[in-house]
A and B are shown apart, each in its own frame.
Chain A
Amino acid sequence: MGIQKDMVKFNVGGRIFQTTATTIANAGRDSFFGALFDDNWDLRQQQQQPNSRQEFFIDRNPDCFAVLLDLLRTGDLYIPSNVPERLLYREAMFYGLTDHVRSAKWGPFDGNRLKLSRSVTGRAPGDGTAIRAGPDGGCCVAHGSMVHVFDWMLEEHPPINLDYQRVNDIGWINAENVLISACERLGKGDGGMGLFSSSTGDLRHKFNVVHDNQIKSFTAGALGFSPDYKIFASCKGRSNEYGIGVWDQVTGKQMDFVYESPGWYLGDADKLQWLNGSNCLLVATLFPRKDNCYISLLDFREKRMVWSWSDIGAPLTIDEKRVRDAIAMEECNSICVVNEYDDLGFIDLRINGGSVRWSSRSRLLKGKLPDEPCYPKLALHNGQLFSSMNDCISVFCGPDWVLTSRLRRSYGGSICNFSIGGDRLFALHSEENVFDVWETPPLPVI
């Protein structure tokens, strides 16, 4: 065995680091180090001066470089106490290793292995509306008329507002853009729906609704997105123009508008969900926004409801089980619903006008409702079902939806909204506007 040929020597801020080209190549082409290599991943410098083992000077912090070099060597991120996290992230930005740091910090999402990683205190108490996880680990929180945007380092960016109107829903278009739906202000044309830069908070586009070739102001409610770059929103116009609007994400233009028919509510919907398999939009308008619950599937190609369910005329039980949230599970051909006692129910998607099959399993919770309860919410991620109730989130798995985990934290009041994305779960508490970040720890060493 001879001498290793691919040795590299760095002088970082005066400290000498020796490593190999192979290790450095782990940084990838799109990094600072990528430029040191040619197309065959051979070091550029050594080609030019084959005999010189010159060191390569970099004018940066050596402590951070040591951490990042270990990251490239092992794939693990260990931040010693003497290195500030923020500084490390900045150095990672310089070298173009942000993605490496992020993927080493927490592992792939698994509802049964979640650990609370941080709690971020919010600003105004009590009026939290929604929290949405971003695609790269960040999140945005809507309360009142403001939306606060946090990146994956949980650093806050300039807040966003749409004419300081009450925010009804928020959604991420991509890591760079956030969509806000807000109430309109009487006669002013304010509110509606806007697209904002997540990093600068600038308004990039304001969406219009056109009725009879006239632009009208409107209140936008729940938001939904489809993979073919469409935006859906429940809309309420001034002259009873209630229904679901559809816009193109790329052009920002309105593509379609489905008006609600008498006796059936679309414009007040609490939840929109795009179903990839059937190319339909789930629209759920629920108690107590209306006296009854209405769930329907809209097919925009045929411009009609292809499936619907309602509890109109259903006999009221003593414990008044009302549907408070709904989520479609296409793999199981059913819609999962939840009531205020954390009971899950299922409606068959294959039968039009079927009934809810409740699976009562959480009688324990009954009778000790907190003073200010929050309505339960549902989420689905990789075959795991999440349901928030009071101050905890239950995780259900398997074909029979067995309760497998519970996420609970002691303060902040009950959970008013939660969201999963970027391999993180964010839970927003109503009383103190505090939100929790739950992560799956990286896989063990062995």
Chain B
Amino acid sequence: MSNQKKRNFQIEAFKHRVVVDPKYAEKTWKILEHAIHEIYNHNASGLSFEELYRNAYNMVLHKFGEKLYSGLVTTMTAHLKEISKSIEAAQGDLFLEELNRKWNDHNKALQMIRDILMYMDRTYIPNSRKTPVYELGLNLWRDNIIHSGKIQSRLLSTLLELVHRERTGEVIDRGLMRNTIKMLMDLGSSVYQDDFEKPFLEVSAEFYKVESQKFIECCDCGDYLKKAEIRLNEEIERIAHYLDVKSEAKITNVVEKEMIANHMTRLVHMENSGLVNMLLDDKYEDLGRMYNLFKRVPNGLSMIRDVMTSHLRETGKQLVTDAESSKDPVEFVQRLLDERDKYDKIICQAFSNAKTFQNALNSSFEYFINLNSRSPEFISLFVDDKLRKGLKGVSEEDVEIILDKVMMLFRYLQEKDVFEKYYKQHLAKRLLSGKTVSDDAERSLIVKLKTECGYQFTSKLEGMFTDMKTSQDTMQGFYANHIELAEGPTLVVQVLTTGSWPTQPTITCNLPTEMAALCEKFRSHYLGTHTGRRLSWQTNMGTADIKATFGKGQKHELNVSTYQMCVLMLFNNADRLSYKEIEQATEIPASDLKRCLQSMACVKGKNVLRKEPMSKDIGTDDAFFVNDKFTSKFYKVKIGTVVAQKESEPEKLETRQRVEEDRKPQIEAAIVRIMKSRRVLDHNNVIAEVTKQLQSRFLANPTEIKKRIESLIEREFLERDSDDRKLYRYLA
């Protein structure tokens, strides 16, 4: 009652806004709702877009946006519930097709609904922070269809079943699969991931675990890798055909882990077909496959690399420490080069030239080449052999290639100074005997050494070449000044600078008088043009060409050493000479004399002398005659001296000693250089720095460095710090 009363007094407020009749809104919504029904029932052709758009516009304009929106949600949900039922009812294989068809229908309907409600989408929805129509449609589909209990699990198992069938070789409808997966992706990446990708990856892992176990039991390494590669490619193809590209990394990860990472060790070490066998048999294709597959998993490549390195070191060690191979230096180096070529090719062809593998190769070679202390000598001998004869008839490019390969080995050497020593000796022999095949090749190697080790390393070697050149000029000058000498024997002198050449004890012998006079003339000529010099004759290194007529008038030109020449010239005046007489007349050192007599009297086919008694060795009581019956089918006969090409044991020791001796000043120089710049430095750092500085030439021995430091302290270049005995101080 009282309520009624109050109302009478109430003054109706002035209505600013003209409120539209709520019935109008209801009526408009009914029209729109009907339209949505018609759209879902494929009856859209009878609808007027303009009318519907205008109705939706009016509803929003007159503040019925909320009603419109909630009505849309209710209507659409109801339709989706029905759709859900019809999908559930689909039997067997038809399930996916039905789902797809309905999804396409829903999408088309959603498009049209969005068009009609565009004005709401643009004005009402952003202002009220609601989900736009299209996304709303997707969300409702997700909640009512994909996540409805009966469909969710069935969809997943159907999809996984199809993938499994394809993996076992059956043909499936990829188009249908693609559309379904695309639907899941359209619903948002989380839907795709949770409702398909995660279980898919789990099932795949299980599948490949079983399969890889089966394969590894019955296949060899090469076949297994082939199968793994095929599987991997299949999965990548599957991604391209119907899955999300973002899944590629994930599924390949699964395959890699199950098929490769888990069996890596077993594969590499597989008996008769593992990595070592592949390397031995040069199976580039299998190696390449292994590289590409292992590259995909963590630690895969390092495993290949480690196994390769240890195998390489093992074979390399056998190679360099094998007593058999040390007998022939050329063969020794050739085998090293072959080994390197083999691995170079493997790395290039199968391991895509990876830096880490090249480094492993280099470090392995460095490791085992230095296991044999004679490697520097052998390498120099190899070069010597190549430059003496090996390169005949080989094109310039090939020469370069061989030299480059040798340089490669040279780089591995720790004791480069030892190599230098030997190289100098061998080069000297080559130059003096005129045996070098190609001047260009010689020079090109010098240039290579220079770029590798610097100017100091080759300055003496270059000096040797200069000497050769100047000697030629000097000889021309000599004969130009002494035209009267054109008759008679020809003298060729090579003036060698002391220091540039390997030092040899100068033991002179008595030259034949003709020669001695000629030599004297040259000496006066040379000293006349170059004052303040001293010439000493190195008769042990010379050669001579002499003409000889034997008993039956056979004429031959004999190519002999200076010593041999001296001996033969004695027979111009005598038929029989005893060893003693020869020794007296020539004053050749006994060992050399024996060797040169041996080569002239005991070598078959070169025996220009006859010896009594006939025996292999030269005795001090032997007598020698000219062998009148000497024959040879050649006019020119080269009588070599019996020389040990490889160094004998004492010589080796001597060279070693000389090398050690040469190192001392170098170490001292390095210490002084370092101390001069650092002033004060502790022992360990001095050792480290010296080792580093000398690395390019040899590996300095710490005890030797210590000795050198002591010696420098004695000579007052350095002093020990009075407080800290480990510190050295440079004394200016």
Contacts and interface: CB of A to CB of B under 8 A. Distances in A.
A199 B127 contact: yes
Interface stretch (A52-60, A112-120, A186-194, A351-359): A52-60
Given A30-B118, A35-B115, A35-B116, A197 B53 contact: no
A34 interface: yes
B545 to A, nearest CB: 81
A35 B49 contact: yes
A436 B57 CA distance: 34
A48 interface: yes
Contact of B122 (A57, A58, A96, A176): A96
Contact of A48 (B45, B122, B126): B45
A94 interface: yes
Interface class of chain A by DSSP: mixed
B50 A57 contact: yes
Interface in A191-233: 197, 199-200
Contact of A56 (B50, B118, B119, B122): B50
Contacts of A200: 127
Contacts of B45: 48
Given A56-B50, A58-B50, A59-B54, A35 B123 contact: no
A94 B119 CA distance: 7
A36 B123 CA distance: 21
Given A96-B118, A96-B119, A96-B122, A32 B53 contact: yes
Interface string A223-259: 0000000000000000000000000000000000000
B122 A197 contact: no
A87 interface: no
B579 to A, nearest CB: 92
Interface string A45-75: 0001000000011110000000000000000
Contacts of A35: 49, 53, 112, 115-116, 118
Contact of A34 (B54, B115, B126): B115
Nearest to A48: B45
Interface residues of B, number: 15
Contacts of A57: 50
Contacts of A59: 50, 54
Contacts of B118: 30-32, 34-35, 96
B429 to A, nearest CB: 66
B91 to A, nearest CB: 33
Contacts of B116: 35
A305 interface: no
A3 B631 CA distance: 115
A93 B61 CA distance: 11
Contacts of A94: 57, 119
Interface string B102-138: 0000000000100110110011001100000000000
A32 B54 CA distance: 10
A49 B636 CA distance: 113
A144 B731 CA distance: 82
Contacts of A197: 127
Interface in B17-65: 45, 49-50, 53-54, 57
A35 B53 CA distance: 10
A30 B115 CA distance: 8
A57 to B, nearest CB: 6
B112 to A, nearest CB: 8
Interface in B515-535: none
Contacts of B49: 35-36
Interface in A73-94: 93-94
B514 to A, nearest CB: 88
A205 to B, nearest CB: 12
B53 to A, nearest CB: 6
Contact of A93 (B54, B123, B126, B127): B123
Interface in A24-51: 30-32, 34-36, 48
9 contacts: A36-B49, A48-B45, A58-B50, A93-B123, A94-B119, A96-B118, A96-B122, A176-B126, A200-B127
5 closest A-B pairs by beta carbon, nearest first, are A35-B115, A199-B127, A58-B50, A35-B49, A59-B54
